[in-house]
């Protein structure tokens, strides 16, 4: 019975590692035009010609005539941003309940106007403490050039944390961009980790068999 249980557990570990990690961020690809799925210090669903505004759409040029026209990365919508003059204004945020473990964050962004391209930073706030997730990413003055934000962080216990996207550029002229494909996933162990776990399970099975043989 114990040997069977060990084999079943090993199979579960291998199959679990093969599954795609679940994105914990709701509507991170902005496929749904849902302004309630995220928080922002910017004005939502507002005239894009005004500073500090965010809109969801398929093309930035559709909401601002001076912005470049290009598609998002997934064939649907993206978050369209007219930058703020204050770095304390959060572009996008979502509060999640997270367990202990390591998490991987990723997202994509691109400039929609050539002047003063934005400098973006992902952060996580837990209580009174805020820490950076990965390095800041400088967008290109060449519009439609997608850049990737990425980083990992580890939590020691279950917490309620808020994942945020900040714009560190404060220029009124330019400082316009789009965001897409925001993801937060629990880190998947490397294959070497599974190998060590399976080796440990094999050792447990060997010891169990030896004990049964000794007691027989």
Looking at residue 113, which CATH number applies to its domain? Answer: 2.60.120.260
Vertex 160 angle, CA 165 and 13, to 5°: 95
| 112 and 168 inside one domain | yes
What does the pLDDT look like over 95-125, one tens digit per residue? 999 999 999 999 999 999 999 999 999 999 9
| 10 and 53 inside one domain | no
With cut-offs at 50, 70 and 90, classify the pLDDT of residue 174.
very high
Q: How far apart are CA 64 and CA 166, in angstroms?
A: 22
| 115 and 131 inside one domain | yes
Tell me how long the chain is.
216
What does the pLDDT look like over 34-54, one tens digit per residue? 999 999 999 999 999 999 999
| 139 and 201 inside one domain | no
| 59 and 149 inside one domain | yes
Domain that holds residue 51: 23-187
Query: pTM above 0.85?
Result: no
Kindly tell me if the per-residue pLDDT of 28 is higher than 80.
yes
Query: What's the pLDDT at 75?
Result: 74
Query: What's the pLDDT at 54?
Result: 98
Kindly tell me if the per-residue pLDDT of 71 is higher than 80.
yes
| 90 and 36 inside one domain | yes
Query: What's the pLDDT at 201?
Result: 47
Kindly list the distances between the CA atom of residue 132 and the CA atoms of 22, 129, 151, 154, in Å, as whole numbers in the listed order.
Answer: 22, 10, 9, 12
| 12 and 36 inside one domain | no
Q: Check if the beta carbon of residue 121 is closer than 8 Å to that of residue 136.
A: yes
| 74 and 119 inside one domain | yes
Number of domains in the chain: 2
| 181 and 201 inside one domain | no
| 195 and 149 inside one domain | no
Query: What's the pLDDT at 211?
Result: 58
| 158 and 206 inside one domain | no
| 120 and 195 inside one domain | no
């Amino acid at each position: 019975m114990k040997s069977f249980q060990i084999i079943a557990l090993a199979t579960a570990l291998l199959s679990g590692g093969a599954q795609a990690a679940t994105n914990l961020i709701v509507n991170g690809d902005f496929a749904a035009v849902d302004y309630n799925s995220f928080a922002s210090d910017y004005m939502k669903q507002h005239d894009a010609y005004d500073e500090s505004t965010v809109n969801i759409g398929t093309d930035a040029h559709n909401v601002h005539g001076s912005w470049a026209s290009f598609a998002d990365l997934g064939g649907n919508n993206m978050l369209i941003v007219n930058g703020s003059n204050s770095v304390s204004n959060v572009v996008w945020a979502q509060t999640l309940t997270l367990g202990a473990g390591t998490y991987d964050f990723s997202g994509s962004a691109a400039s929609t106007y050539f002047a003063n391209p934005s400098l973006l930073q992902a952060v996580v706030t837990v209580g009174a403490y805020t820490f950076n997730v990965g390095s800041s990413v400088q967008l290109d003055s060449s519009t439609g050039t997608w850049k990737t934000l990425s980083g990992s962080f580890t939590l020691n216990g279950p917490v309620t944390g808020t994942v945020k996207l900040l714009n560190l550029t404060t220029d009124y002229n330019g400082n316009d961009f789009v965001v897409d494909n925001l993801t937060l996933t629990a880190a998947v162990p490397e294959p070497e980790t599974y190998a060590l776990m399976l080796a440990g399970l094999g050792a447990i099975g060997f010891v169990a068999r030896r004990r049964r043989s000794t007691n027989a």
